[in-house]
Amino acid sequence: MAPLVLLDLDGTLMDSAPGITASVAHAFTALGLPVPDAATLRSFVGPPITDSLPAHGVPPERLAEAVGAYRAEFRATGMWDNAVFAGIPEQLARLRAAGCELAVATSKPEVFAVPIAERFGLSALVDGVFGAPLDEQATKADVIAKALAALGRTPADGPAPGLGRVLMVGDREHDVVGARAHDIGCLGVSWGYAHPGELEAAGALAVVDDVAALENAVLSLV
């Protein structure tokens, strides 16, 4: 069974912070709430928006309104204010040439993740793009379970032997935690949006600092 590498999208394959942070700022403004500072806005990249908004001052009774404002702006402009990190396409191509199966596993709703991956040329470099439902009521572990089941690594109704060699690659602690729920190790990448020491504290197997070193780091762990 070929090694399977699950790849986070935001902060791992793509620099999506500009569009996400602008859409979050728009949502706070639309609700008449103080817009968080730049560092706080950056922390919205990665986790589900339904977790981040209430964690940073949106009252529970206004969460649906805030999510609606965010998504309207994100659909209109934010999702395209995005770029693949330099060198990522080449690294993915090298991993596939080395015999790895690749898939995107992201907390971003799949209805956004799929067209983004297509628009920016990532779909042709991976074997599937898997994301959260639109209501984002799914953990990273849930998204990973969906990817594993779709790729034939485990039955859809629960864990089972036969995963083969599987590795998660991500830039935030929830990537590490979600992978661990399936007894999968996680390689952290430092060019994303984690706070200093976040990935190490979460238990990442290693942290790679340079996109050009990604292939070798992955192959050393699978």
> Which residues are part of the catalytic machinery?
8
Return the closest-CA partner of residue 2 out of 84, 72, 98, 86: 98
In this structure, are residues 127 and 137 in contact, taking their beta carbons and an 8 Å threshold?
no
Q: How far apart are CA 111 and CA 170, in angstroms?
A: 20
Ranges assigned E (strand) in the chain: 4-7, 14-15, 83-84, 101-109, 129-132, 166-170, 185-189, 206-208
In this structure, are residues 95 and 7 in contact, taking their beta carbons and an 8 Å threshold?
no
In this structure, are residues 129 and 123 in contact, taking their beta carbons and an 8 Å threshold?
yes
